[in-house]
Amino acid sequence: MAKEKILVVDDEEDILELVRYNLSREGYQVVGTLSGEEALKKARSEAFDLIVLDLMLPGIDGLEVTKKLRDNDKTRHIPVVMLTAKGEEADIVTGLELGADDYITKPFSPRVLIARVRTALRRQTRRPDDATAVIQIHALEIHPGRRTVLAAGNPVDLTYTEFQLLYTLARRPGWVFTRGQIVDAVRGDDYPVTDRSVDVQIVGLRKKLGTYGKYIETVRGVGYRLRENP
């Protein structure tokens, strides 16, 4: 049975072949291209389950490709995993803000590549979120309707902002959220939240969660995520 179809975009042929080889070995159908322009043409004419996209491309770069993918009804749903060089933190943040789902830094481990691709595909196949559904992850139980949190069965007293922050992360375990995305998700009419205050809220949230606070991971230079696996 054929696995998912993946588009790989990188202008360096050796990296393109490395990614193609490792994904093909896992049973994925892989299509490769060397430019952003060609990637957009293929994404609009063929059905892909995921795109692995280099940011540093000649002509239309990866950030512009991501923006165009998200602006098109036919391609907006396709998960995008960015390939970036180390030190491009600003580009990573921008890419995530534009709608990319995850990123891998070069040089990368093939095992990390496969793991990130699997995670992104798994997220995509999950059913749409029910805003009233109880979220259970690790020993945490989050009730959106009641706005309550239990840790190993014990209630945790959270402020409005702390609850929104935890709920935002828990809805997409393993997903990296930039501070800007967290601000957008947490912000209420009477709750001014800034990028800097997100860090303060995270410290407070981790403290209140006790042992389970360690599952909120800092992604240096980018933001935060809730670890998917214990």
What residue spans define the domains of the chain? 5-125, 135-226
pLDDT value for 190: 46
Q: How far apart are CA 55 and CA 49, in angstroms?
A: 19
Q: What is the pTM of this model?
A: 0.70
Q: How far apart are CA 230 and CA 227, in angstroms?
A: 7
pLDDT tens digit sequence for 25-53: 999 999 999 999 999 999 999 999 999 99
Q: How far apart are CA 181 and CA 176, in angstroms?
A: 10
Among the CATH numbers 3.40.1190.20, 3.90.180.10, 3.40.50.2300, 3.60.10.10, which is that of 5-125? 3.40.50.2300
pLDDT band for position 66 (50/70/90)? very high
133-170 burial, b if ≥16 CB within 10 A, otherwise e? eebebbebbbebeeeebebeeeebebeebbbbbbbbbb
